[in-house]
Amino acid sequence: DEKDTLALERLEIKNCSANGKELTQFLLQLPKLSFFRMSSCQNVTSMGVMALLATAEPTSMPSSSTSSNETGSQLQIEEVGDEGGLLLFPKHLTISLRELRITMNPGLSLLASLPPENNSRPGGLHNLHSLQTLFIRGCPKLLSAYSSSSSYCFPFPSTLDSLRIEDVEDMHTFAPLSNLTSLTYLFVENCRKDLRGEGLWTFFTQGCLTRL
């Protein structure tokens, strides 16, 4: 029932035909979610995190969190093209989600971010400030928007303690990961035969890495 849904802390979705927009609406109903696994959900094609909209009215009358989140989600989906395949992690997950696992979604990519002066675009996962563990496998296009040095931000949050990446073909260097100075565990496998070490030294000079 609704009460049980609101209390849900772990969610695993596999071989699901729902698209990103539908999953976004479902995640809006899970304020306590701390673990999320998504596997083989082919209708989810892009992913980002909801940001605070510049048009939000801070003095407006309070409303239910669900209603407010749904309104914000809809506005941001429209802003990036109202794509049915777009999954946006709601704002409440930026403080509750601890572990994220994304596997076997070959068409999935992270949204690119706009320049810093326009921070309303929900690009990457870097706004998931509570995330500590991230596991990615079988998502070759995931970092396609972050494969060049012209990217405006890093794709992942600096709070990560553990990161495992497998079968991500658009990872050319370690530079997109160089903000992860809290990492104690990093595992990278089968990403590119010509994967360059650029950015890797950061983990040893500035980070807490104990396992590589």
Whether the CB-CB separation of 171 and 148 falls below 8 Å is answered with no
Whether 171 and 191 have beta carbons less than 8 Å apart is answered as yes
Tell me, what CATH number does 71's domain have? 3.80.10
Tokens of 205: 């000079």
How confident is the model over 39-55, as a mean pLDDT? 81
| 57 or 141, higher pLDDT | 141
Question: To which H or E segment does residue 27 belong?
Answer: helix 20-27
Task: Check residue 64 and give its pLDDT.
Answer: 47
Q: Whole domain around residue 39: which residue ranges?
A: 2-205
Angle at 63 between CA 71 and CA 69, to 5 degrees: 30
d(C-alpha 69, C-alpha 130), whole Å: 18
Provide DSSP, 122-163.
--SSTT-TT--EEEEES-TTTTGGGSSTT-SS-SS-TT-SEE
Could you read off the pLDDT of 148-199 as tens digits, one per residue? Answer: 655 557 899 999 999 999 999 888 888 888 888 889 999 999 987 777 777 6
Mean pLDDT, range 59-75, rounded to an integer = 48
Q: Does residue 170 fall inside a structural domain? A: yes
Collapsing DSSP states into helix, strand and coil, what is residue 66? helix
In-domain check, residue 211: no
Q: Is the residue at 212 inside a domain?
A: no
CB 19 within 8 A of CB 41: no
Bridge partner residues of 136 (DSSP): 102, 165
Determine, yes or no, domain membership for 210.
Answer: no
What tens digit of pLDDT does each residue of 111-156 get? 886 655 555 555 689 899 999 999 999 999 999 988 765 555 789 9
Token pair, residue 95, equals 């403080």
Q: Quick one: which of 196, 199, 140 has its CA closest to 166?
A: 140
Share of residues in the chain with pLDDT > 90 (%): 49
Decide which of 197 and 78 is more confident: 197
51 located within any domain: yes
Nearest to 43 by CA among 121, 99, 106, 97: 106
Write phi, then psi, for 53 (nearest 5 degrees): -75, 140
Q: How far apart are CA 200 and CA 86, in angstroms?
A: 31
Range among 15-24, 166-175, 197-206 rated most confident: 15-24
Q: How confident is the model at residue 57 (pLDDT cuts 50, 70, 90)?
A: very low
User: What's the pLDDT score for residue 133?
Assistant: 98
pTM of the model: 0.82
Q: How many domains does the chain have?
A: 1
Assess if residue 140 is contained within a domain: yes
123 CB-near residues (< 8 Å, 6+ apart): 48, 49, 110, 111, 112, 113, 114, 145, 152, 153
